[in-house]
Structure 1
């Protein structure tokens, strides 16, 4: 949530690159925090509500502001993006173990942030990607639960690769890696990311 607020501040200060990096780091932290919470069995009603607020702030408001609000079209699309995030968080619950209905918000935001970095904030390309992400989030398709740090070893390596690249590799290469990672989840959810969910027991 703090990184999301920093991203919003950077967007208002016209520092698009910094704002995008805050969202990408949040994408990686979200998975780590979720895994730590489940591992330590830390669960509370207030924690769940705070998590939803953090998701809305970072992967909703902060991500939408990456589109820019300089023109009416970008501003309108940013509002639609925030509404899509809100709608998905409030109403899209499957009741099926290890399954999401609609594209999870962090992956949509990772695509936007990575695209923003690779295109240096090209508003036309960002608007096209945002429109596509809105459609994926509002779609009734099912996506596997992304407990990457509690899954197969190769998925942990994918996550570790993202963290290492964040600190050691050129920024453009890191953005491309995160974009490829997110797109693989979007377009090949069952073939690549869904097998662990089917194998794990449900109690």
Structure 2
């Protein structure tokens, strides 16, 4: 893929929109909790937005070109769907595996860092599918789940959005998404 082509620029913008979607997802949940504006309908709409942004939109980063890519995209979307169903079911033992918003962020970050290399994206997408549906992969850490840590990392993420043309911003996001569960 050539750097100067329109497709590359659109793919680059799509990756950054997924990363910005992650920041907005964290922000809307925090604002709703702070204002006491949580409702059953809001939770369902949030799940729908998560599925759209972190499932469908992220799977399109794989740029389907042939049958195997299409199958990979469908598997990715289905794994996000399964992960969201387990998370919202309220069954404590089901909240395991990599959160779909993290897998989406990892895929978008790797896409930006690799210049959209399809081979790398396919391998990462396959790994993210496994990690999302795995019931034992994703450990929880008390430091990484602390509110202070989440605020520091969120502030860093917002700063990195303004530095989006700076390649280390992608490295920051990649480290962020592998550091711990979302707020």
Could you tell me which residue of structure 2 aligns to residue 38 of structure 1?
33
Deviation at 1:144, TM superposition (A): 4.2
1:21 and 1:113 in contact (8 A); partners too: yes
CA contact (8 A) 1:23 1:109 kept: yes
What aligned pairs does 1:99-118 form with structure 2 within 5 A after superposition? 100-118=95-113
Contact kept, 8 Å, 1:100 with 1:143, in 2: the verdict is no
Whole-Å separation in 1 of the counterparts to 2:38 and 2:171: 34
CA shift for structure 1 position 39: 0.9
Instruction: Confirm or deny: 8 A CA contact 1:94 1:101 kept in the other structure.
Output: no
- TM-score by length of structure 2 reads 0.84
Matches within 5 A, 1:130-149: 130-141=125-136, 143-144=139-140
Aligned equivalents of 1:73, 1:80: Cα separation in 2: 10
Structure number with higher relative contact order (C-alpha < 8 Å, ≥ 6 residues apart): 2
- Is 1:96 aligned to residue 92 of structure 2? yes
Quote the RMSD (CA, aligned, Å). Answer: 2.7
- The alignment partner of 1:171 has SS state of coil
TM-score, with structure 1 as normaliser = 0.76
CA distance in 2, matches of 1:89, 1:114: 21
Structure 2: segments with no counterpart, 5+ residues: 1-6
Between the two proteins, the alignment pairs up a number of residues equal to 173
- Partners in 1 of 2:15 and 2:92 — Cα distance? 33
Q: Which moved more, 1:42-51 or 1:57-66?
A: 42-51
Alignment partner, residue 25 of structure 1: 20
Change (3 A) 1:16 1:86: same
